[in-house]
Chain A
Amino acid sequence: DGGITQSPKYLFRKEGQNVTLSCEQNLNHDAMYWYRQDPGQGLRLIYYSQIVNDFQKGDIAEGYSVSREKKESFPLTVTSAQKNPTAFYLCASSIMGETQYFGPGTRLLVL
């Protein structure tokens, strides 16, 4: 089955803790993206990567970090510096210049 998977579906973070959200795709897409969705707002781009071992900051990168060591994987770490991490996080991938396809999302909640 080809597609994008995100895990976990729900994630709880304690104050001061770093957490990592997983995103994997087997679509052989070069580009991968992380978005955040808050109620009443559109999708805001956190980070994106157009090729392995390279990534760029999006509009709201502060408090987040990523890595792209493998083409199929693009994990997102929400660091303790992110003061308002509660949101729905969406990962997407695409062939460059073509339609982005999204994973099912991870909801992050702060304890």
Chain B
Amino acid sequence: DQQVKQNSPSLSVQEGRISILNCDYTNSMFDYFLWYKKYPAEGPTFLISISSIKDKNEDGRFTVFLNKSAKHLSLHIVPSQPGDSAVYFCAAPDSTDKLIFGTGTRLQVFP
């Protein structure tokens, strides 16, 4: 049973436009969510997080929205840049602080 799901394996967006990456979860006890960005053959890097007491967190071009009633979060990147092309993972820590990862969405930003 996958507790964190990213149903879109890939997304292609034109440079300058908005990228929206989606993530759904099933465990209503999750109280903190993270987004990681990963380039090929490198470790993931932490991007942005959100606590369940908030519905939005913004950091520069990156904004994460949380809809607790729908158990859904999304990462918005605007404007998208070619350097944003990577795999994005959403994750949530379980009750023992182990991170539960989604399967990732590959974002490609083209000129």
Contacts and interface: CB of A to CB of B under 8 A. Distances in A.
Interface of A: 4, 6, 31, 33, 40-45, 48, 50, 58, 88, 90-92, 94, 96-97, 99-105, 107
A104 B42 contact: yes
B42 A100 contact: no
B103 A42 contact: yes
Given A42-B89, A42-B103, A96 B97 contact: yes
9 contacts: A42-B89, A42-B101, A42-B103, A43-B44, A45-B99, A92-B43, A96-B97, A97-B93, A102-B43
Interface of B: 4, 6, 9, 34, 36, 41-46, 49, 89, 93, 97-99, 101-104
Nearest to A90: B43
Contacts, number: 51
Interface of chain A: mostly helix, strand, loop or mixed: strand
